[in-house]
Amino acid sequence: MRRLVLLLPVLAVLLGGSVFTGIATAAPSKNYTVTRTFGPYNGAAKIGQPGSVPDGRALAVYCGNRESVIGGTAKISRKTSYGTARSDVLTLDVIGAFYDTDRSDVSLGWGAFANATGKPGWNSVTITVTCRRQ
């Protein structure tokens, strides 16, 4: 067995290193995850009142400049700094991946629109996006 181990480097030199061409080294991952929590929002608050959801503006998390969006999630959280709600007082319209032309950098985001149900109580929205470096 020992002779076989010593024979491999000799064969590699004789064959021009072609014995080891299939061996790969581990590269650092290009993927990373960003999570952000928005809120808390009151499900009974009207637009403009304290605790109301943003009007006409999506809740979004962005990847870096010229990076790709692999995927993401948007979830309602009942646990907030105001306590834990018994039910969801928000609904979400998930946009998914989008390009925001109002931003000065060239980046993609993952987002959702939060909508109040009219029920009293507080919820937060957590958005998680997986990005890929170029």
Residue 88, pLDDT > 50, answer yes
Residue 23, pLDDT > 60, answer no
From residue 60, how far is each of 22, 27, 41 by CA, in Å?
Answer: 42, 30, 15
- What is the pLDDT, as a whole number, of residue 12? 45
- What is the pLDDT, as a whole number, of residue 102? 78
Q: Could you tell me the residue ranges of all domains in the chain?
A: 28-132
The pTM (predicted TM-score) of the whole model is 0.74
Question: And the tokens for 85?
Answer: 């709600």
pLDDT, tens digit, for every residue of 66-87?
788 999 999 999 999 999 999 9
Among the residue ranges 39-53, 62-76, 90-104, the one predicted with the least confidence is 90-104
Strands (E), the chain: 31-42, 59-62, 68-77, 79-80, 83-84, 90-99, 108-116, 122-132
Question: And the tokens for 128?
Answer: 């998680």
